[in-house]
Structure 1
Amino acid sequence: MSFFISIGFNFIIYSFLGWVIENLYCYHLFKRFQEDGFLYGPYKPMYGFAFSILVLLNDVIHNNIILAMFICLIIPTSIEYLSGYYLKKFFNKTYWDYSNERANYNGLVCVKFSLYWMILSLLGMFFIHPIINKFYLFYKDISFIFIILILLSISMDLLMTIATLSKENKLFKKF
């Protein structure tokens, strides 16, 4: 059970940190915070999924920097592509478009942002995650209920989003 709670904790933390990173990036570029997102709450599941996978692979990549760079490039880029593809296919939503970037694939991923994800992932794996993991280990006995409640909250957010898109007739538009 603690394995799943640990994964849930990582998913929550890195989904929130992804939301923070995106908002800071948008503020830096446009001098305003990002207003549009798939879910209502302050989290970006794409980051949570990608980094949770990286954490699971930590023992494999920790002592091999070349392998770490490769995996920290491939996992986030794959998650970004799949997220963009399925958001467009099932919900008729496009949240980013790299069509104007060099070396892009279907406007969903590009080399420039893949390199950004790799650098952020490496920094996260080698510097941020050890601190966050110590925090988790210190509080894991009392954090169980909070992790469950936050995951339920994210699930409710997803259900509300799907209900809203269904009412707007945007859900599964291509089918």
Structure 2
Amino acid sequence: MLPFIQTAYLFALGSMIGWVLEFFYRKFFDPVNVERKWLNPGFLTGPYLPLYGFALLLLFWLRQIERFIPIDDNYTRKAVLFVIMAACITVLEYFTGLIFIVKLKIMLWDYTQFWGNIKGIICPMYSFFWLLLSFGYCFFLDPPITHTVELLIKNLQFTFFVGLYYGVFFIDLAISINNIVNIAEFAREHNIIVKIDELRAQIESFREKTRGGVAHFFIPLRFSDTLHNSLERYREFREKLSVGNIRENIKGNIDKIKRK
């Protein structure tokens, strides 16, 4: 029972910490968010990103293996640990993104604009961020998190709040999964990859144009009229974008030929 409570708590904590990190990153540093809008990261409504929940579990468990790394020098051993942590989270990120793309034809995040990316799912820059996160976890977050885990185990009455969190989380998850399933069916029918961030931007743009409304921060995938119509507009947007890219490539090739 206790390992389950520990795991549930760490997943919840990691999901919320990750949401906060992504929230501020997208506002101030994300090169895609040129307008510097406040964006609700992820496809869920509430302040949680499950990927970071799994990432924190990995960091917590991997932290325990440091003593088994056969390196005497403390700094070198920690450096190796950070690399292992970053590599494991990158692998987690890759397979999570790949499953959504292959099985559901949905792209939860898009790194195609970054150098060295693999299928737009992982890239060196974000792997470096995972390395920094591993460093920050070991030196700043691990002691207080370990302490709160021990406190939770010794005072099981606090598990009420963990249960409350999951009550809200699973309701949110059920609603979001319903949207994801419908989006996946549309994507398979039209043989396209739906990029969640692009879809959200399309929904927001249409709402502002037709109703003069503002974006729903806590409901990022709240459709302005119907799901089908929103997806049809997105499909048309993708088709126009593809045609534009083809024209740009043709023009670029013609220019190269002329220069020769």
Write the distance in 2 (CA, Å) between the matches of 1:125 and 1:172: 43
Unaligned runs of 5+ in 2: 68-73, 190-260
Residue 172 of structure 1 and its aligned partner are, at CA, apart by 8.5
Q: Taking structure 1 as reference, are residues 153 and 105 closer, same or farther at Cα in structure 2, changes over 3 Å only?
A: same
Unaligned runs of 5+ in 1: none
Provide the alpha-carbon RMSD of the alignment. Answer: 2.2
Which residue is equivalent to 1:98?
111
What per-residue deviation string (whole Å, max 9, x for no partner) do you get for residues 62-111 of structure 1? Answer: 66313312222112111211221222234432232212211111110001
Contact preservation (8 Å) 1:76, 1:118: no
Which residue is equivalent to 2:101?
88
Which residue is equivalent to 1:59?
64
Contact preservation (8 Å) 2:62, 2:85: no
Write the distance in 2 (CA, Å) between the matches of 1:173 and 1:45: 23
Which residue is equivalent to 2:208?
none
Which residue is equivalent to 2:26?
26
Letter in 1 for 2:62: L
Compute the TM-score of the two structures, normalised by the length of structure 1: 0.87
Write the distance in 2 (CA, Å) between the matches of 1:75 and 1:36: 22
SS in 1 for 2:38: coil
Which residue is equivalent to 2:89?
76
Higher deviation after alignment, 36-45 or 13-22: 36-45
Q: How many residues align?
A: 174
What per-residue deviation string (whole Å, max 9, x for no partner) do you get for residues 99-141 of structure 1? Answer: 2211111110001110111111221133112112223323441
2:148 equivalent among 119, 129, 135:
135
Write the distance in 2 (CA, Å) between the matches of 1:47 and 1:36: 12
Higher RCO structure, 1 or 2 (CA under 8 Å, sep 6+): 1
Compute the TM-score of the two structures, normalised by the length of structure 2: 0.60
Q: Taking structure 1 as reference, are residues 54 and 36 closer, same or farther at Cα in structure 2, changes over 3 Å only?
A: closer
SS in 1 for 2:102: helix
Contact preservation (8 Å) 2:82, 2:131: yes
Which residue is equivalent to 2:162?
147
Larger C-alpha radius of gyration, 1 or 2?
2
Q: Taking structure 1 as reference, are residues 107 and 44 closer, same or farther at Cα in structure 2, changes over 3 Å only?
A: same
Q: Taking structure 1 as reference, are residues 169 and 13 closer, same or farther at Cα in structure 2, changes over 3 Å only?
A: closer
